[in-house]
Amino acid sequence: MARRRTATRPPLPLRDGLGPDRLQLPAGHPVATVGAYLTGVAPEDDWDGRFAAGEVVDRSGAPVAADTPYRPGLVVHFYREPPAETAVPFEVDVLHHGDGLLVVDKPHFLATIPRGRHIRESVVVRMRRALDLPDLVPVHRLDRMTAGVLVCTTDPALRRPYQQLFEQRGVVKEYEAVAPYVPDRTFPCTVRSRIDKRHGEPTAREVPGEPNAHTEIDVIEAEGDHARYRLRPVTGRTHQLRLHMASLGLPILGDDFYPTLRHRAPDDFTDPLRLLARSVRYTDPITGDLRVFTSRRTLSGEPPRPDDLDFTRPAG
């Protein structure tokens, strides 16, 4: 049985599915107090109200006053209201809830974790609110544009064993994609390449060198100019499946990144990436049981109509 470790809780509880921000005061600032520094960092925020409510605290949870002397290295926690977001009009389907796990069927366009421009519109925040699960954390990632099976833990003691399971490639993942069909191409096939993803750049690229990405690809069925493909990633590099399909001359339908970058408006929920995390299979690190979770969603080769946005809801 895997050894359990307890995760450190933030000193302020979740509020509406969101945890507090954390800020470490840097060196080299001439201000005299914590209040003066925070007001300078975010002058539009209601710092007087936060300090009065005791909602600026240190690591131990003790309130920090506005006139607390500025000390480089001091860590403070506080709530911030995220900016307004465009609501994603698709639901999260629950596949399993119990034994310290929540397994969901994520729709396209919904982020996995709160980050950047997508905070409330993320699986983590939605499900923390909907199911009152303050300790919900995903143990792997799905791109915002990819739908399908996402495994989360709800018990902090289980977080590390399941994260290690995914990190150490103890999980068999199967994806499906819709892409162009080329009759004279031979399948199944194996694609190995070296993928480089630079920080701050939206796309990754294949470069010369020792392969660090490996995908097994086969055709499930073909219809007309398109086919449904089965993708089995042996490794888990950023954008690996998109890049490997594009390298075969078979870019996945609806891809905003490959082979060319396409900019999409925040409220454009048409033409999704036709990539679905169909299933995960693994030996449970706690019980030793074989577990398989399978998406109930379907992929369509045709772009949906703008007034018919329920194509990513569970089928059947």
Which residues make Cβ contacts (< 8 Å) with residue 187, sequence separation at least 6?
217, 218, 219
Active site residues: 143
- Give the model's pLDDT for residue 5: 44
Tell me the C-alpha distance between 276 and 260, whole Å: 21
- Give the model's pLDDT for residue 301: 61
Tell me the C-alpha distance between 159 and 105, whole Å: 19
Which regions of the chain are under pLDDT 70?
1-8, 301-316
Percentage of the chain beyond pLDDT 90 is 82
Q: 157-170 burial, b if ≥16 CB within 10 A, otherwise e?
A: bbbbbbbebbeeee
Q: What is the CATH number of domain 93-294?
A: 3.30.2350.10
- Give the model's pLDDT for residue 10: 82
Helix (H), strand (E) counts: the chain: 5, 14
- Give the model's pLDDT for residue 4: 44
Q: How many CA atoms lie within 13 A of 265 on its CB side?
A: 4
Tens digit of each residue's pLDDT (9 = 90 or more) over 99-144: 999 999 999 999 999 988 999 999 999 999 999 999 999 999 999 9
Domain limits, the chain:
21-78, 93-294
Tens digit of each residue's pLDDT (9 = 90 or more) over 236-254: 999 999 999 999 999 999 9
pTM metric for this prediction: 0.85
